[in-house]
Amino acid sequence: MVFVLGFSAILVRLVVLQVADASAYQDLAQAQRGRVISVPAPRGSIFDRDLHELAMSLPAKAVFVDPALVRKPMQVARTVAGVLDLSPAKVYAAVTAAEGRFVYLARGVEVETAERLKDMKLPGIGFLDETRRYYPAGDVASQVLGFVGVDGTGLEGLERQYDSLLAGREGHAQVEEDPNGRMIPQAVRRDDPPVPGRDVVLTIDQDLQYRAQVSLERAVRTNKARGGTVIVMDPKTGDVLAMATYPWFDPNDFSAASSEEWRNRAVTDAFEPGSVNKVIMAAATLELGLVTLDQRFNIADEIDVFDRTYRDVHSHPMQQMTLADIVAQSSNVGAITVANLLGDQMLASYLYEFGFGKPTGIGFPGESPGILAPAEEWWGTTLASISIGHGVAVTALQMAGVYATIANAGVSIRPRLVRGTVEDDGAFAPSPPSPSRRVVSEDTAAAVTRTLSYAVQVGTGGEAEIPGFWVAGKTGTAQKPLPNAPGYSDKYVASFIGITPASDPALVVAAVLDEPETKYGGVAAAPLFQEVARFALALLRVPPAPKPPPPPSASPVGLG
């Protein structure tokens, strides 16, 4: 009887364990030997406009440790640190961690290195498949591309801007391990596969970008400048063909550079443009019919505006100047005289229409809108200062956009860095055309182009001339404001922004040098423009175009 009762009790308990509590114990067993791991999605590549790969993902391994399985922590720490070139102290801290069964030791380890460590069969050391980001062109377009962190997340540049598109969606895998942390091959494995990221095709031309960087670095060194920027744009599409900022960095080793070197200053940093801004004064007054190309003004070499005296760079007697002469000779007094015809509200309105005081719409992380105070906040000398490029701040991209508007017959095209994406089936999906809007009439744009061409032929932009092509452009020399006090320093920004061919524009090139030893834009920046534009014309096989008709001038020889 006792035997029967005992057997019955055991039978009842077995029924409870195998039927009533089966699910609970199955879950407990699964929790003891099972683990869910993340399966990273292959990150999309970034290509230049001709499908040269600028950013790609290579197979790699993540190395982790389960501290509970490590038997000889000091020995394991020294071995792992030696193979992975890590700090033994940090590895030891990880392998002796009191909490958790999973601690990363290294991410993005090259497969060969990880396999060498794996062959040592160290208890508690495990490996996961992942990828590491690689930039085959090194520092080419590094500030445009940006970089990703160890977890594969975009941290700077286009890698950040298009992170959700490039990253895809990670998957998950549920695996089972034995007590020593080894995978159980026969165990049931449930997978949620990752979704690969999309490839992105840029407007950047790798060859032109490289050449622009070579030329920019040489110009910075030659002029003993602090840094510089070059932008090459197609004014008809808004495509940015090259965008370089010196100094740059190698995104394959981004931690070796400073955060200042990571910044794409062409988009994120605003500066007072100086005389390159006179193009807006010229366009606005022509568009409103306040001046004509053959109108003559009596211009002295200085002018008093409220409590300040503005002067031309070079002393000269009272002389007659047309609008073309004012632009060609970069006369501050002439620009202020003409701008006074506009008034505060109208000049502010045209500055805004040309893109000042607001982002360009390119969407780049950290883009600066620049600085443009509302006309209601202008006071005695504001109009005079802004008409010659002071008291207002713009990015190099904004300023290039102004000249692109003139080059595109008065129509502003939003700049863009992405031509399209690559679909899952490998087909190219072009981005929609950039939105456009008219700023000034075609006739006004043509008249301004004539004055800018004249400025290169006989004015301050002579060093920008390209044999066989006509260039329309303007120099800029702007004194830099003091960083933490009112007033200006003894440092300058020198620039030249030009259009070529002048009568059938195909390119806009902006060349900006920060704190060059030779402060004048015509001396420091115009040769940089010439070198970059000349290469771009040849690379893109742009044919020459006829010489634009010269504008009326009060002086048949200009500056000579």
Report DSSP state, residue 435: P
Compute the distance between CA of residue 236 and CA of residue 507 in angstroms, rounded to an integer.
Answer: 9
Radius of gyration of the chain (CA): 32
Distance CA 334, CA 278 (A): 10
Burial class (CB in 10 A: 0-12, 13-18, 19+), 3: exposed
Could you tell me which of 227, 216, 273 has the C-alpha nearest to residue 476?
Answer: 273
Exposed / middle / buried, residue 543 (Cβ in 10 Å: 0-12, 13-18, 19+): exposed
DSSP notation for 437-500: EE-S-HHHHHHHHHHHHHHHHHSTTGGG-BTTB--EEEEEEEEEEPTTSSSEEEEEEEEEEEEE
Query: Of 59, 98, 68, 63, whose CA–CA distance to 79 is shortest?
Result: 63
The span from the CA of 411 to the CA of 202, in Å, is 23
What is the per-residue burial (b if ≥16 Cβ within 10 Å, else e) of 38-63? Answer: eebbbbbbbbbbeeeebbbbeebbbb
Residue 545 tokens read as 């175009």
Of these residues, 45, 275, 387, 553, which one is catalytic?
275
Beta pairing, strands 46-47 & 199-202: parallel
Q: Which two tokens stand for residue 366?
A: 């950290």
Does 275 participate in catalysis according to the annotation?
A: yes
Q: Could you give the maximum distance between any two Cα atoms of the chain, in Å?
A: 132
Q: Which helix (H) or strand (E) holds 53?
A: strand 53-65
Whether 323 and 293 have beta carbons less than 8 Å apart is answered as yes
Closest CA relative to residue 521, chosen from 141, 200, 228, 118: 228
CB 211 within 8 A of CB 193: no
| Peptide linkage before 235 cis (omega within 30 of 0) | no
Query: Count of CB atoms within 10 A of residue 84's CB?
Result: 18
In whole angstroms, give the CA distance from residue 459 to residue 475. 9
Identify any residues that bridge with 477 across adjacent strands, giving them in sequence order. 494
Residue type, 1: M
Nearest partner of 526 among 473, 454, 457, 449, judged by Cα: 473
Give the catalytic positions in this structure. 275
